Structure 1
Amino acid sequence: MGDVEVGSDGTGAGIGAGIATVLAWVGIIWYMILWGILLLGLRSVQKRYCIRPRSPLSSPPPPDDPLSVPGVSILRPLKGLDPNLYENLESTLLQEYPLERFEVLFCVADAEDQALGVVNELLAKYPRVDARAIIGERVVGVNPKVNNLMEAYDRAKHDILWVLDSNIWSAPGTLARSVDALTQDSTPRIGLVHHVPFVPPAAPLTTWGARVEAAFLNTTHAKMYVALNELAIDSCVMGKSNMYRRSDVACVDGTLKHHPPITPAPRFGPPNENQTGLAAFGKFLAEDNFLASALWHELDVRHSLSCDVALNTLPPNMPLSAYIARRVRWIRVRKAMVLAATLLEPLTESVTAGIFTMWSLKQLGVPVPSFLFCLHILAWITVDFYVYAALAMHHIPSEQFNTFCAAWLLRELLAFPIWLRAVVGSEVEWRGTKYQMRKNGEVDRVDPDLLAKPRWKRSLWRFWTALGFVSSSPKGGYTALPTVEHQ
């Protein structure tokens, strides 16, 4: 009897050791793959952003062929006074592109919006630019940015649309180079051009929240973003600054399933059950990502990452809590879109990947000196620093190096706790409004009456709603907005 028990324990221990060995080999292989991706990101950034040539489209078109330069409508959705708003919007009016071949539409939902004052100043300063304000929104879903864009989307003169967030500044040649990328001969053809967000080193960041956000965007995000777009296995688009054709968007419906050409919904008029065009993405919070994925999967077109960056203006006094809240929000949004990738995200971070690798080496009997983890972190920050410098196109001033290293290290240490907090919830807050994420990436607005209830009651309500015992009607707590409401 005793021998059987010992044998049983030994078998169990052997199975456990075998599983640990398999996990250890998985860890080593993953570490090598991860470093391959990191180095690909570094090399791609250095190659892509080393030079930004002047486009032929920046020059006036031939007098006998004025339409040889593609027309572009630039859409800028606005809400309130963002930092550096005047300069950001002015950069759109100063694009090196024939004046008669582009227009700028500033979109505000409310005639009382403070951003209109800035817009009116710019319209008076640049009367020769075809620019105007579009006031009023059309509610097509829960996403306020899409609602704000709908009127301008329909009224735009040109098929090529360039949509930029209000906190983005663009270099004068960005428009011309982006049109070059969109219209290049390729198979499959290019359906969308986007730009990696970048916070310039000269940005006056006075708080650790702003510095950590800048460190994230300029290193971890940029490196992985460029690497994944270089691999081009699937769509990977953040937003901020996207260019695409309205005629393409009119033929997608957000199902992300390839289908034969469909008849676009009328630009004006009542909606149909199967919405197409921009209105189809009003039900998503990450509308840019879903629109890009729809173009990729439904029309079988590809994306081009421009050699320009989208200079991202951050609030200089952004608190650390705001950075954490922003990261929690977008991890929860990604969890609803790509669950598997979100769950594996910690293994792409320097601290957790390093710990997993050190454990794997020990399991395989490899000596792990105490300084090996430090070497791992040193190698990682070195790659990230060179990514940062390549995007800036110049050396980072030495007086900023210590601040960068401290912000980078703080971001790396916060990565796993932030991820852990994000994956255990599904409620997000954006511009003062709370939303509930669905599993398919859609969102519902949380009813204010529900917000007044204790947290445990809200959690209990979400639990019963998920089981289907109660509905998510407005009285139930989650407001499903009407599909379309014309003004």
Structure 2
Amino acid sequence: MLLLWIGTGLNLAAAGYACVSLWAWFRCQRAPATHQPDRTGRAVSVLKPLHGAEPRLYENLRSFCLQDHANYQLLFGVREADDPAITVVERLIAEFPRLPIRLMVDPRIHGANLKISNLINLLPLAAHDWLVLADSDISVPSDYLSRVTAPLSDAGVGIVTCLYHGVAEGGFWSRLGCLFIDDWFAPSARLAHAFGSTRFAFGSTIALRRETLTAIGGFGILCDTLADDFWLGELSRRAGLRTVLSDLVVGTEVSETRFSALWTHELRWLRTIRAIAPAGFALSFVCFTWPVLALGLILAPTLPNVLLALLGGGARVMRYVAQRRSTARSSHWHDIGLTPYRDLLLLLEWAVALTHWRVEWRGRELHARNHAPTRYS
């Protein structure tokens, strides 16, 4: 009897999540744009910390050089004088001579988080008070800056952030990595947002005013923090400012060509999420639709549970199809057949992520369970 109840509970939870996440996706698609693109020409400084020759780095950085925004500067920062990213930036400087682009090479390290060290070094070069931070592997449309900075005109807004979709560049494993983003991470973020949560901020984009950054303690307060993007948003919220999730979805490169690289990368993500929201992470197994439904049916092979499994599986397939029909991406439609394997791998990663807190990031071993920045704690 106990196994029957457990199996039924698993089927209810997994099917319920699949259906509600499908509803959240449609709700997001039908929501009207809350902010019109900024056409006032308010000056913006874009800070891009770089590290190494990442796949499609030139194409991704070039998309920031093609903005229709009237007044902005691009700031690129590296730590090493022989960093391959320098060649890419120099190519862009030559290609866009009229665009204010600056390259900074500064080896100073201000803490365990090398990305934040890079941003600390870059900030003095920022000529403007509206700031946009974006990871190096992000690609954006030409109206990106106009759209993500528009909400900053509201003094009550602290940061603006963007969801992102995966761009597969490395074959099978990168396609599986795209499903991690598109079929698990993004739907769960949309679902949280649909129920009113704004407890998020993504490295894909963080737009904020300089005064907000100063008020929360500056980049220095994050120099030993792993989840720096989340904490920029969290500290802003604790200061009484709102977080806006833009309706713009940007692209992020997924370039893993080996299972080991994908495993390490995703385990770092999951342990970071666990550190930020331990209770929610512990319950997130319900998001792994296929293995949870299968386990529920094994434990409770009854007709109601078969119907629940069909409902949950159908909602999962509908969400996958709807997401791809709504975008111009050349997605692998047959990747829908990979979703059971994707969910099973996620379930295994989730279980391993519960075992300890250490993560590998850019050649360093860090502890995901670091303490929150204390300025507004």
Verify same fold: TM over 0.5: yes
CA separation in 2, counterparts of 1:222 and 1:167? Answer: 17
Q: Return the alpha-carbon distance in structure 1 between the equivalents of residues 102 and 50 of structure 2.
A: 13
Matched residue, 1:61: none
Q: Deviations over 1:247-298 (max 9, x none)?
A: 112111xxxxxxxxxxxxxxxxxxxxxxx211101111110011111111x2
Shift of 1:320: 2.1
Contact 1:219 1:388 in 2 (8 A): no
Question: 1:72 and 1:224, CA in 2 relative to 1: closer, same or farther beyond 3 A?
Answer: same
**1:418 and 2:349 equivalent?**
yes
> Which of 181, 197, 205 is matched with 1:233 structurally?
197
Quick check: 1:332–1:422 contact (8 Å CA) kept in 2?
yes
Whether 2:333 is the aligned partner of 1:401: answer yes
Q: Partner residue of 1:460?
A: none
Matches of 2:134 and 2:16 in 1, distance apart?
34
Q: Which residue of 1 aligns with 2:52?
A: 80
| Unpaired runs of at least 5, structure 2 | none
The alignment partner of 1:199 has SS state of: strand
How far apart, in 2, do the equivalents of 1:348 and 1:326 lie?
Answer: 19
SS in 2 for 1:428: strand
**SS of 1:192's equivalent?**
strand
Q: Computing the radius of gyration over CA atoms, which structure comes out larger, 1 or 2?
A: 1
Kindly provide the amino acid, as one letter, of the partner of residue 37 in structure 2: S
Q: Is the 8 A contact 1:96 1:176 kept in 2?
A: yes
The match for 1:283 among 224, 241, 260 is: 224
Aligned pair partner of 1:133 in 96, 103, 123: 103
Select 1:304's aligned residue among 220, 244, 254: 244
Q: Deviations over 1:294-344 (max 9, x none)?
A: 111x222122222222211222x5212211111111212222222211211
Partners of 1:383 and 1:109 lie apart in 2 by 42
Q: Give 1:122 deviation, angstroms.
A: 0.8
Partner of 2:174: 210
Residue 450 of structure 1 corresponds to none
The residue correspondences of 1:77-156 to structure 2 (distance < 5 A) are 77-98=49-70, 101-156=71-126
Match of residue 162 from structure 2: 195
Structure-1 separation of matches of 2:341 and 2:139: 27
- 1:324-403 counterparts in 2 under 5 A? 324-355=263-294, 358=297, 367-368=303-304, 373=309, 376-390=312-326, 392-393=327-328, 400-402=332-334
Normalising by structure 1, we get a TM-score of 0.69
CA distance in 2, matches of 1:301, 1:369: 45
Structure 2 residue identity aligned to 1:134: M
Residue number in structure 2 paired with 1:313 = 253
CA distance in 1, matches of 2:164, 2:119: 21
Instruction: Write the letter of the residue equivalent to 2:58.
Output: Y
Deviations 1:1-24 (A, max 9, x none): xxxxxxxxxxxxxxxx6x778867
Q: Distance in 2 between matches of 1:422 and 1:337?
A: 13
Query: How many residues are aligned here?
Result: 373
Aligned residue number for residue 37 of structure 1: 20
Aligned match of 1:429: 360
Displacement of 1:125 in angstroms is 1.3
Structure with the larger RCO, 1 or 2 (CA within 8 Å, 6+ apart) = 2
Q: Is the 8 A contact 2:76 2:103 kept in 1?
A: yes
Q: Distance in 2 between matches of 1:105 and 1:222?
A: 28
**1:438-449 counterparts in 2 under 5 A?**
438=369, 440=371
Matched residue, 1:474? none
Task: Tell me the distance in 2 between the aligned counterparts of 1:441 and 1:36.
Answer: 34
SS in 1 for 2:215: coil
Is 1:247 the counterpart of 2:211? The answer is: yes
Code of the aligned partner of 1:437: A
1:437-458: CA deviation from partner (whole Å, max 9, x where unpaired):
335368xxxxxxxxxxxxxxxx
SS at match of 1:313: strand
Are the counterparts in 1 of residues 9 and 296 from structure 2 also a CA contact under 8 Å?
no
Secondary structure of the residue aligned to 1:87 is helix
Percent of residue pairs identical: 23
Q: Is the 8 A contact 1:346 1:352 kept in 2?
A: no
> What's 1:293 paired with?
234
Report Cα offsets for 1:106-147 as digits up to 9, x if no partner: 111122211111111111111111111122044332100000
Q: Secondary structure at the match of 1:417?
A: helix
1:165 aligned counterpart, secondary structure: coil
CA distance in 1, matches of 2:107, 2:214: 19
Give me the TM-score of the superposition, normalised by structure 2.
0.88
SS at match of 2:235: helix
In structure 1, C-alpha distance between the alignment counterparts of 2:137 and 2:269, rounded to whole Å: 18
What letter is aligned with 1:171? Answer: P
Amino acid at match of 1:242: I
Tell me if the contact between 1:229 and 1:236 (Cα under 8 Å) persists in the aligned partners.
no
